[in-house]
Structure 1
Amino acid sequence: MKETLLSAWLYFSFIRCPFHFLFYYTSKNKAIIDRDLDVWIRQLELPYSRTVAFVHLLVWHKEFRNLFYYRLKPWGHILNLIMPKLSSLYLNAKYIGPGFFIQHGENSRINGEYIGANCWVNQDVAIAFSNRTDRPTLQDGVKVHVGAKVLGKVTIGENSIIAANAVIVKNVPPNCTVVGVYPAYIVKENGIKVKKPL
């Protein structure tokens, strides 16, 4: 019964989304949005077609709305009046690559210079300026876990993981897991356990 009601509500929700569909299908970033959708569908294990999953994500995942509206600049401001985004999640990076996934997004601020493809962030994350101009670059496949801070003009190498509550103020090589507040250090590199300073 519960699943039937949820399905009915989901299909009813199509009524709320005509302008979202219009902007989606006419966007110059449609291919990037499709990559985002594919990642979100896979991560959340949604049993729907891309079209139905798009509505599901708009209705049930405010973090997805933030990302979708970011892709549609400046038209996202209009859609925000219909379905508000998550107010404590800020996506102000110069560029965010396709396949960006936000697992919860409360109190996160993404101000990177460049965010590569297939990156992942959690809640309470700051990818932030250290002064008026210096902000981080995340290469492809980077994961930034709960409460982590990446600050200033640093580069996080591809496929690296920033552990929960870590504070990163130095470059991180590719394929590393980094933990710690100050100083942060590498605990895994290319799949091998290590203990190395940054």
Structure 2
Amino acid sequence: MGFFRTVKEDIKAIFERDPAAKNTLEVLLCYPGLHAIIIHRISHSLFRRGWVVLPRVISNIARLMTGIEIHPGAKIGKSLFIDHGMGVVIGETTEIGDNVTIYQGATLGGTGKEKGKRHPTIGDNVVISSGAKVLGPFKVGNNSKIGAGSVVLKEIPPNCTVVGVPGKIVVKDNKKIRPVYNEIDLDHTKLPDPVSDELHDLRKKLFALEKRLNDMERSQEDEVI
């Protein structure tokens, strides 16, 4: 796919996923996520040709302009949408599929000083919510969703919802696969809360224990009388 056609797909993705987008001129001038992606595609092209310093300089300029840091070595598919984007970090060996959505403060990073592949591979139609951290050389499967503030340290199968620190799979295979980006589920606010569920279960057990103790106390009082 040619450069300008790819950029056109990136712009189209913004209109599909951001109700605030009004027209193409506004998107071209006012969306730092789009600016970061366009500049990255240029720096990545140079990086693939064996250049080292110039692509890094270009990516640093993009970071200063947009607040988004994308290493020129990262491989990004079509129709990536970085919403707002301030604080987003994408590492060198990251691979991102098609129709992915990333919200502000998310990190696709590594966990150490190992060589080679050390950043995640993100499948198609994935949503990575605000502040989420995906750390390590594993894959996040197609159509998965990572909740805000989650820390993901191991592979995620397709069609899953992950929340928590460390990230836990709380939903799997209960929604249809969405092969095109205009059907992607972008609702990253209504997510299950495993901590709240545990506290709820603990509260129920506590109530049951109190009732049992009260029954025992009443039984003893009746025996005394």
Q: CA deviation at 1:41?
A: 2.0
| Aligned position for 2:160 | 176
Unmatched 5+ stretches in structure 1: 1-26
Q: Which has the larger radius of gyration?
A: 2
Q: Distance in 2 between matches of 1:64 and 1:194?
A: 31
State the AA in 1 paired with 2:30: W
Q: Percent identity?
A: 26
Q: Are the equivalent residues in 1 in contact too, given 2:163–2:193 (CA < 8 A)?
A: no
Could you state the TM-score of these two structures normalised by the residue count of structure 1? 0.71
Aligned CA RMSD, in angstroms, stands at 2.8
Q: Distance in 2 between matches of 1:59 and 1:159?
A: 30
Tell me if structure 2 keeps the 8 A contact 1:185–1:195: no
Query: Is contact 1:186-1:194 (8 Å) kept?
Result: no
1:63-121 deviation digits (Å, cap 9, x = unpaired): 2111111122259949x69xx731x2111252100000011111110125210000011
Residue from 2, 12, 16 that aligns with 1:42: 16
| Aligned partner letter, 2:95 | Y
Q: Which residue of 2 aligns with 1:63?
A: 33
Number of aligned positions between the proteins: 160
Report whether the alignment pairs 1:122 with 2:103: yes
Structure holding more helix per residue = 2
**Which AA in structure 2 matches 1:113?**
T
Deviations 1:127-149 (A, max 9, x none): 00112431100011111101110
What is residue 18 of structure 1 aligned with on the other side?
Answer: none
1:85 match: secondary structure: helix
2:65 corresponds to which residue? 85
The aligned amino acid for 1:103 is D
Please identify which structure carries the higher strand content.
1
Q: Which portions of structure 1, spanning 4 or more consecutive aligned residues, are displaced by more than 3 angstroms?
A: 45-48, 74-78, 192-196
Taking structure 2 as the reference length, what is the TM-score of the superposition? 0.63
CA distance 1:195–1:152, shift in 2 (3 Å): same
Return the alpha-carbon distance in structure 2 between the equivalents of residues 188 and 141 of structure 1.
16
